[in-house]
Amino acid sequence: MATDAVEFAPAKVNLALHVTGRRADGYHLLDSLVVFAGVGDRVSAEQAADLSLTITGPQSAALTVADDNLVLRAARLMPGAFRLTLDKHLPVASGIGGGSADAAATLRLIARLSGHPLPPAAEVLRLGADVPVCLAGQPVRMTGIGEGLHPLTHPLPPAWLVLVNPGQAVSTPEVFRALDRRDNAPMQALPRLRDAAELAAWVAMQRNDMEPAATRLLPVIAEVRRALSSQPGCLLSRMSGSGATCFGLFADPLSANAAARAISAARPGWWVADAPVFSGKVSHGGPGV
């Protein structure tokens, strides 16, 4: 298939995630620094008489081709019919926006192939709170229930991530219900940062307000963070999103790769990946394309 018929769906990582309130309808208000990593799924498409989806890849067993699959739901918002293939590499229900990234990639891909505009923002948001930020595909400060996307004033310095998921899921609604409080302070303003060490220092001054509750529900999250923190070169470790995936922040690709190899060897049942942080908009073909 031609390269332009493939769309990269990168992992979404919440470097910081503050819960700042709750609306009358029950939706929680967030303030988050969101970045994207150079590891993810890929969605490919061919025009066809009817809409269909095939799921392949190392994480494909965790998904079924059901009517509520986010790729199919996204495709139905666009005109035309396509034979879609989802090459699934990211673990599901893991706090790194895999399903949302897949939906966003589907929208971008069909828009590019068909020449039709993307759906209205309200329809995109109805797919899921993380779909708008995944559709943007670049580092932003995300606010509200996911609809507020604010470009960064300063570009992020080069940095690398090691992502680790223990192969156990934690329910996002359960994490929200278990929060200690819902009216936390927002993030500080992001200053100009010279390097990964300064980025880690700034992130360390922020929080993931969902991490304590998620760790109580799934104590292995603390073990994942310890495994990351113990690696040489790890500047900071934290949970992403509602978990259970955690990330370690590194200043160079060699240290990140060595850490990923060490954790994989010690914990062969865990999902582990090392990847750069994208400082700008992600290429539709993904890393190296």
Helix (H) or strand (E) holding 54: strand 52-56
Active-site pick, 102, 130, 209, 274: 130
Q: How far apart are CA 210 and CA 269, in angstroms?
A: 25
Nearest-angstrom CA–CA distance, 10 and 18: 22
12 catalytically annotated: yes
Query: Residue 73 in contact with residue 127, Cβ under 8 Å?
Result: yes
Per-residue tokens: 183: 């009216």
Q: Has 209 been annotated as catalytic?
A: no
| DSSP string across 68-110 | T-HHHHHHTTSSS-EEEEEE--SPSSSSS-HHHHHHHHHHHHH
DSSP character string of 186-241: -PPPP----SHHHHHHHHHTS-BTTHHHHHHH-THHHHHHHHHHTSTT--EEEE-T
The residues with which 151 forms a beta bridge, in sequence order, are 140
Query: Which of these is catalytic: 12, 41, 87, 274?
Result: 12
Residue 55 φ then ψ, to 5°: -115, 125
Residues 6+ apart with CB under 8 A from 167: 91, 269, 270, 271
Catalytic machinery residues: 12, 130
